[in-house]
Structure 1
Amino acid sequence: MNKDQSLSRRRMLLAGAVGLGAAAVAGTAQLFTGDIGPPVRSSAAPAPPAAGAQANRAARKPSAYRLQPIAGYGPVRGTAARTLVRHEPFLRVSGRGRSMVLTFDDGPDPRYTPDILRLLKDHDVRAMFFVCGEMAADNKDLLRRMSDEGHIVGNHTWSHPLLTRLSRSAIRSQMERTCDVIQEAYGERPGWFRAPYGAWNRAAFQIGAQLGMEPLAWTVDTLDWTEPGARSIERRVIKGAAPGVVVLGHDAGGDRSQSVKALRDYLPRLLDSGYRITVPRRRLT
């Protein structure tokens, strides 16, 4: 069984078990601007797990498309940053005008990731790729390309397990091995991470923070992993489009040709509607 077949099988088996996804945090979506808000110290009491939220249906108004990164920041590099622990992931972003973020999970996959990168480059936009270490290890050239073209590479664990069923040491291994591969690919460790299946727990937040990463979930789930057809994926993105939205898509883990075709259709529509598709800036000092 190859990697994407194995990942698809795990996803189908566990999808029901982690239906907590959007429902678990329907009322906890966070906005972040500038200095992304007060951190929670590791001594604070635990909070319930969090994951994606329902799409924001806010009315859309025209605005000029600009390429600058949004005004959000990732972790401050240095010893102090490693002591900051959050209770929930960021679900939304905010910046100038109508900013949105596109994210792609589970890759990189040489069959689909290059097409997604080409489409993003054709439209001069940036995105976030949350990669799995076992995929990244064999495709470091794609990680270098992502970095060279201005995209953000995030940590999506090594083999896409359900973190809430792992020990702390296993969670650390999943995250740390993937950080190492990303650093080997282009010389920088990731500043963002995302829990597989949107299933977070306190250990994941603590270990992610210790490794210098901020947690990011999503606002709009395209459900492209179910292979519903490109038009269905496109409709979900367009219907959910709103300022601050984070869109979840995939570039691996199965047949992602529908995801590529949908991106080809919805990306120009978003830009023509005045959305600015970009990525969070990271504060490095």
Structure 2
Amino acid sequence: MKKDQPLIRRRALLAGAAVLGAAGAAGTAGVLTTADGARPVRGTAAVAGPQARTSLTTSAFRLQPMTGDAPAWRTPARTLVRHAPILRMSGRGRSMVLSFDDGPHPDYTPGILRTLREYDVRAMFFVCGEMAVDNKDLLREMADDGHIVGNHTWTHPLLTRLSRSRIRSEMERTCEVIEDAYGEAPLWFRAPYGAWNRAVFQFGAELGMEPLAWTLDSLDWRTPGTHKIVHRVEDGAAPGVVVLSHDAGGNRSQSVRALRDYLPYLLDSGYHITVPRRQFT
């Protein structure tokens, strides 16, 4: 398969999707403006580390409102340095985003991709470089199906405890693997454990990536049982929600089975499962 073929197919798939673009200037210290001109929403501060993360609720990270469709082949607007991850997502109608972290894994990611394909749904995959480098075929499959692949570092470390050079290396190496296998460089970054600091925001912006967080943690990483994962997602569903799940980092068979249950429920409930789109110039 030629390297540019996945990208061409991906553009064609995304052209008809109801997608959204990141809005608002970076560096606003968490003060975010809604897409429809409503009053600004003050976000939470950036997470300093594990202690700060455990004190947050699962809805602490919300996505910044995103607006505007644009051709995928146009140049993205210059990425500005933020002081907090994008905190709130505002879709068109009852829109939601599904995201999967830590993969791709040959045992679990294919099952998730099959379910998404069955229902013609696009999702986001935040991949770790050390997993992606040995599973490039799965990244190509994601490109073929129109999913968005984001950067989740190389080894999934706690970035706030690393030197600046280590942080940059973790992010750069993963960008290179994604671009090679997926067909284009990632436009989104998610910090492992939700731990952000100034260096992470700075390097992410320099690499052309926006910092993306989540709204609803499915808690599938605790392997609580398929039923509990399904109940948590269905109970937390609402317009603008971004669901955090995992396709690697442990036994994710419950996550695979749970998706088969809650995805048709969300669709039957009138939710449009979509993916964000960056603003373009």
TM-score normalized with structure 2 length = 0.78
1:49 correspondence with 2:46: yes
User: Of residues 130, 150, 166 in structure 1, which corresponds to 2:162?
Assistant: 166
User: Where does residue 106 of structure 1 map in the other structure?
Assistant: 102
% identical equivalent positions: 69
After superposition, the Cα gap between the structure-2 partners of 1:271 and 1:226, relative to the gap in structure 1 and judged at 3 Å, is: same
Query: Quick check: 2:103–2:247 contact (8 Å CA) kept in 1?
Result: yes
What amino acid does structure 2 have at the position aligned with 1:143? L
Aligned residues: 235
Q: In the aligned structure 2, how far is the partner of 1:238 from the partner of 1:221? A: 12
Q: In the aligned structure 1, how far is the partner of 2:69 from the partner of 2:199? A: 22
Residues 14-49 of structure 1 show CA distances to partners (whole Å, capped at 9, x for unaligned) of xxxxxxxxxxxxxxxxxxx7560122289xxxx942
Q: Which runs of 5+ in 1 are unaligned?
A: 1-32, 57-69
Aligned-pair distance for 1:114? 0.6
Q: In the aligned structure 2, how far is the partner of 1:48 from the partner of 1:55? A: 13
1:241 correspondence with 2:237: yes
What amino acid does structure 1 have at the position aligned with 2:258? A
What amino acid does structure 2 have at the position aligned with 1:271? L
1:252 correspondence with 2:248: yes
Q: In the aligned structure 2, how far is the partner of 1:88 from the partner of 1:128? A: 20
User: Where does residue 39 of structure 1 map in the other structure?
Assistant: 26
Q: SS of 2:67's equivalent?
A: strand
After superposition, the Cα gap between the structure-2 partners of 1:260 and 1:140, relative to the gap in structure 1 and judged at 3 Å, is: same
User: Where does residue 197 of structure 2 map in the other structure?
Assistant: 201
Query: Quick check: 1:100–1:243 contact (8 Å CA) kept in 2?
Result: yes
Query: Quick check: 2:21–2:277 contact (8 Å CA) kept in 1?
Result: no
- Note the aligned Cα RMSD (angstroms): 2.6
User: Where does residue 13 of structure 1 map in the other structure?
Assistant: none
User: Where does residue 180 of structure 1 map in the other structure?
Assistant: 176
Query: Quick check: 1:222–1:233 contact (8 Å CA) kept in 2?
Result: yes
1:155 correspondence with 2:142: no
Query: Quick check: 1:72–1:95 contact (8 Å CA) kept in 2?
Result: no
Query: Quick check: 1:53–1:218 contact (8 Å CA) kept in 2?
Result: no
> Which residues in structure 2 correspond to 1:1-285 (within 5 Å)?
36-40=23-27, 48-50=45-47, 54-55=58-59, 71=67, 77=75, 81-82=78-79, 84-285=80-281
Aligned-pair distance for 1:200? 0.7
Residues 162-183 of structure 1 show CA distances to partners (whole Å, capped at 9, x for unaligned) of 0000011100000000000001
Aligned-pair distance for 1:73? 7.8
Q: In the aligned structure 2, how far is the partner of 1:266 from the partner of 1:225? A: 17
Query: Quick check: 2:83–2:198 contact (8 Å CA) kept in 1?
Result: yes
Aligned-pair distance for 1:282? 2.9
User: Where does residue 11 of structure 1 map in the other structure?
Assistant: none
